[in-house]
Amino acid sequence: MFTLSACELTKKFKNKELSAVEITKRFLERAKGENLGALLSILEKRALNKAKSLDEKLKASEPLGLLAAVPVIVKDNIMIEGEVCTCGSKFLEDYHSSFDASVVKELEKEDAIIIAKANMDEFAMGSSNETSAYKPCDNPWKKGFSPGGSSGGSAASVAARLAPISLGTDTGGSVRQPAAFCGLYGLKPTYGRVSRYGVVAFASSLDQVGPFAHNIDDIALLSSVINRPCNKDSTSIHTPAEKYHEALSDDIKGLRIGIPTHLLEGTDPEILESFDEFIQTLKSCGATTTEICLPNNKYSVPIYYILAPAEASTNLARFDGIRYGKRSAKAKSLSEVYEMSRTDGFGKEVVQRILLGTYVLSAGFQDAYYTKAQKVRRKIFEDYDNAFNDCDIVAFPTTTIPSFKRGSITDPLTMYKQDIYTISANMAGLPALSIPSGFTKEGLPIGIQIQSKQMDDQRLMNVAKAFETKNDSYSKIPAYAEEVEA
Ligand code: GLN
C-alpha cells in the first residue's frame, strides 16, 4: 500500500478495493513507528474521524473529492483548527490553532485525510532541518544525512512513504531543496497562486505553500486542489483555479530551454552530469536549448538575507509572550515579559535573523540596505523577463551539492549558500519545480530545477511529465526508511 501514489490510492478507494479506515490505519501505524524525526504530531483522531465519514459517504454514493482517502502530511507552520502548530519552535509548544489555513480547508473539501504535521526548521529558517527546536530529521536515503530544509520533515515523510503527498512552504527554496535531497518532486507555485492564509508568515513577499510527491501526476492533482483564489489573502491571484491534473501532457515539442551556463560553476560534477542527461532527455522529446544570461542572479542570496530577515523581524514581532507564544515564568515586569519570553522561546538562528532584520530596517540604514536590496530584486525580475523572450523555461540544478551529513555545515554563510539556485524564483515570484533526476554514486538523490513565467506552472508540470515518461520513475522505498515498516 505504501508505494501507491495519491492518484492510485484514491482510485482504489473509489473502486471499493480499499476502505478509507483501512488506508488511514495502515498509514497512521507507519507514521507512529517512524524513527527519522520527520513528524512533530500525529492527528490520529482527526484522521480516523475523516476516514469513517468517507467510508459512509462512499456507501451512500455521495460525491467524493479529488483526494478522497489520500493521507496527507502538512508542515507544522500550517494551521489546522484545534491542533498544535509549533513552527518547529519551543515558543509555540502549546499553541493550538484557532482556525484552518485555507489550504487545509481545500484539502479537506477534497476529502484528503491529514494524518500528521511535519518537522521543520524553526519558523522555516534553515536549509537542513537542524534548527528545529524539537529534534533533527534524517534523510531516508541515508542515516545521519540531512533531508534539507526548511520543509525537511515534509520531504522525509513522503520519501519514507509515511504519506504519498505532503505540503511544505518555500520562501527561498524550502520545498525544492528538500525535494532534491530526498528524491522527490517539489513545486514552488507562482507567488499568489496558493493562499497563505493560516500559514505562519516568515517573509510574506516570498512565502508560498508547495507540494511534495513521488510523481508529477500527484503534484498536479494536489496543485489543482490548493491553487484556488482566496479572499482572505490579499496577495491571492483572482483568476480561476487551474485544473493541472486534467491538462497534464507530455507533449513538449518545440519547447525552448534556457540554460544559464554562467551559474553552473562550482556545482558538484555528478549533479552536472545528471543535469546534462536531463537536458538530453528533454531534447529527445523535441525541446531545444539556448544559452541565457541572468546577470543579477549572483546577488540573490545577499539580498535575500536583507529582505527576508527584514520581513521576518516584523512578522515575528507578534511572538512576545502576550499575543502569541509561551510567557516566561521568570518575568516580573512588562519589558521582562517581552525580553525573557523571546529569549527563552526563540532559537539562535531565529534571533540572528530578527537582529539582522531590525538592523537593516533601522532609520539610519534602511536606504543603504533594504531599499537597495529591493532595487536589486527588481533587476532579478527584469533579467528573467528578458530571458523569457528567448526561452520558455529556465533549467539548472536545484542544489550545488547533494545531501550532506547533519552537523557538517557549521558556518551560516555556507548554509545560506544552499539556496543559491532557488532564491531567485522567490524574488521574481516565478513558479519553480524540482524534478528527481537520479542518484550519486553514493546513493544520494539529485534534483534538477525548472522555472518559468508567472502563472506558467502548468508548463513546468508538462515538462516534468515528458521527462518522467522517458525516465522510468522508481517505486523504491529507501533502505533506511524500510526499517520504519512494522
Ligand atoms: N534556507 C532559506 C532560509 O533559511 C530558505 C528557507 C525557506 O524557504 N523557508 O531562510
**What integer pLDDT is reported at residue 479 of this predicted model?**
82
Work out the average pLDDT over 18-27: 98
What percentage of the chain exceeds 90 in pLDDT?
96
| Nearest-CA residue for atom 5 of ligand 1 | 172
| Nearest-CA residue for atom 10 of ligand 1 | 125
| CA 423–ligand 1 middle distance (angstroms) | 9
The 3-state secondary structure of the chain reads CCCCCHHHHHHHHHCCCCCHHHHHHHHHHHHHCCCCCCEEEECHHHHHHHHHHHHHHHHCCCCCCCCCCCEEEEECCECCCCCECCCCCHHHCCCECCCCCHHHHHHHHCCCEEEEEECCCHHHCCCCCCCCCCCCCCECCECCECCCCCCHHHHHHHHCCCCCEEEEECCCCCCHHHHHHHCCEEEECCCCCCCCCCECCCCCCCCCEEEEECCHHHHHHHHHHHCCCCCCCCCCCCCCCCCHHHHCCCCCCCCEEEECHHHCCCCCHHHHHHHHHHHHHHHHCCCEEEECCCCCHHHHHHHHHHHHHHHHHHHHHHECCCCECCCCCCCCCHHHHHHHHHHHHCCHHHHHHHHHHHHHHCCCCCHHHHHHHHHHHHHHHHHHHHHHHHCCEEEEECCCCCCCECCCCCCHHHHHHHHCCCHHHHHHCCCEEEEEEEECCCCCEEEEEEEECCCCHHHHHHHHHHHHHHCCCCCCCCHHHHCCCC
Whether residue 472 is predicted with pLDDT greater than 80 in this model: the reply is no
- Binned at pLDDT 50, 70 and 90, residue 471 comes out as confident
Across the chain, what does the average pLDDT equal? Answer: 97
Whether residue 486 is predicted with pLDDT greater than 60 in this model: the reply is no
Work out the average pLDDT over 13-36: 97
pLDDT digits (tens, 9 = 90+) for 449-460: 999 999 999 999
| Nearest-CA residue for atom 4 of ligand 1 | 126
In the residue annotation, 274 being an active-site residue is answered as no
**What integer pLDDT is reported at residue 476 of this predicted model?**
79
pLDDT digits (tens, 9 = 90+) for 228-252: 999 999 999 999 999 999 999 999 9
Give the pTM.
0.97
pLDDT digits (tens, 9 = 90+) for 370-395: 999 999 999 999 999 999 999 999 99
What percentage of the chain exceeds 70 in pLDDT?
99
Work out the average pLDDT over 302-319: 98
In the residue annotation, 150 being an active-site residue is answered as yes
pLDDT digits (tens, 9 = 90+) for 326-352: 999 999 999 999 999 999 999 999 999
Work out the average pLDDT over 283-293: 98
pLDDT digits (tens, 9 = 90+) for 407-448: 999 999 999 999 999 999 999 999 999 999 999 999 999 999
| CA 171–ligand 1 middle distance (angstroms) | 6
Work out the average pLDDT over 183-201: 98
| CA 124–ligand 1 middle distance (angstroms) | 6
**What integer pLDDT is reported at residue 320 of this predicted model?**
96
- Binned at pLDDT 50, 70 and 90, residue 360 comes out as very high
**Comparing 440 with 485, which gets the higher pLDDT?**
440
- Catalytic residue from among 127, 174, 313, 452: 174
pLDDT digits (tens, 9 = 90+) for 90-129: 999 999 999 999 999 999 999 999 999 999 999 999 999 9
pLDDT digits (tens, 9 = 90+) for 64-81: 999 999 999 999 999 999
In the residue annotation, 75 being an active-site residue is answered as yes
